[in-house]
Structure formats: C-alpha cells, structure tokens
Amino acid sequence: MEIRISKTKEDLASAFSIFFKSLVQSDKVTHVALSGGNSPRKIFDHLAENYGEEIDWTKVNIYWVDERCVHPLNEESNFKMTRDHLLSKVKIPEENIHRMRGEDNPEKEAKRYGELLDKQLPAENGVPEFDLIVLGLGDDGHTASIFPDSMELWDSEENCAVAAHPTSGQKRVTLTGKVINTAQAVAFLVTGENKAKIVREITRHQGDYKKYPASLVNPDTPDFIWFLDEEAAKEL
C-alpha cells in the first residue's frame, strides 16, 4: 500500500489523473470501476478537462463500484454524477459504459451485473479482474456500499450484492470484497479533515479499524494507492 499526499484537492486531482492515464494508456482494453459520492466530482472534471484528449477512450470500459437504486437522472445517481463530470466530456463510446441499473429490481440487477463482469472481464482465480477500481471512504468507514452494519456483504460469494444505506434504507447495488481485492490497481480518493481520523486508523491499523469495511481493502498489488489531500492526511 502506498500513500500519496497532495497539498490541495486540485493537486490530488492532478496526481490521480496522471495515474489513471498511465494505467489506461496501454494498447489493451481496460476495465475500470468508479465510485460515486461527492469526492470524485472535481477530480473527474480535472481528468476530463486536462487529460480527456490524451486518452483513447475507445479502449476504456467504465463500470461502477456501487450505485444507488434510483433513476439514472436522479441527483443521487452515481451514474449521473460520473456522466456529468467525466463521461459527457470525453469521447467514450456508449457501449463502453456499463451502468448498474438497480432502480427497478436491485436483486435482479446484482445478479445481472455480476454475470456481466464474468463475461466482460478477464478472471483471476475465477473472479473478474478489473484493471483499476476507484474507491471512496465514508466517514463511518464504509467503502463501495458496504457499511459497518453489513460487513458480511464483503465476504459474499457473488460478484455483486444488494446493500441498504444504514440510515436512509436506500437500496444499493455494490461490488463485493473478492472483486475489489482482485483488481490489478486500487485507488482510494479521500479529501477533507472529516476523514483524517479514520484514514489514520485504517492505514495505521489503529483504534477501531477492524470495524471499518474499508480496512478490508487489501489487494495483492503494488498499485494500491491512497490519494489524500493534506486535510485528509492531517493525522498521519
């Protein structure tokens, strides 16, 4: 695991964009799963506006780490956020965009999406292998849509599972731990002082880190990087 600390969120966006470009520049098709939430917004804007023209998006397939089970035009939708801040700004073919479509039947979509990954991605020990998985960190230690009150989803035998937000109850479709930990590269994007304590606990294995699903992210790859701004890294 590597920790890269950037002075500002803009510097983090630049560091991540350069990393992203280095991974997708190879001449092979790449499969990337993105998280939602707020942190990626400006980072995706930066990637699109500064490197969008330098990347051959015809070779990049975009998937989601998790998705709220809402209409794709709903402000809550991770697909909408990603389309608004990245996909609408780059020349990526529609067929390369693989939306999680959980708004009608989450359980059915979790099955469909898991089968899609088995079909589309190369496999490592029978598990679909992403080239890159981009994760966020909730201030309760969740990642993807695996929350502290449903840690068992991490160990699901399936590629995807159905989760529920602990307070709103909103249903989510999410990748599970075996897929996340099989990726060839994993990048956490974490900004803001409100994440500093939990970043320290997880990366230093201190305090209640074992209660946090994000502490279970441990892919067997040198390309496992925490991209932090100085605020999120304040306690390191």
Q: By the criterion CB under 6 A, which residues form the site for ligand 6PG? A: 35-39, 65-66, 78, 136-138, 142-145
What stretches of 77-181 show up as alpha helix (H) in DSSP? 78-85, 106-120, 177-180
In the complex, residue closest to ligand 6PG by CB: 136
CA dist 103 and 132 (Å) reads 25
β-bridge partners, 62: 32, 97
Q: How many CA atoms lie within 13 A of 73 on its CB side?
A: 0
Q: What Å distances lie between residue 178 and 123, 133, 221, CA to CA?
A: 12, 12, 14
Three-class DSSP category at 20: helix
Residues 30, 57, 117, 44, CA torsion sign? positive
DSSP 155: G
Least distance in angstroms from the C-beta of 139 to ligand 6PG: 7
Burial of 152 (0-12, 13-18, 19+ CB in 10 A): exposed
CA dist 137 and 144 (Å) reads 8
CA dist 186 and 180 (Å) reads 8
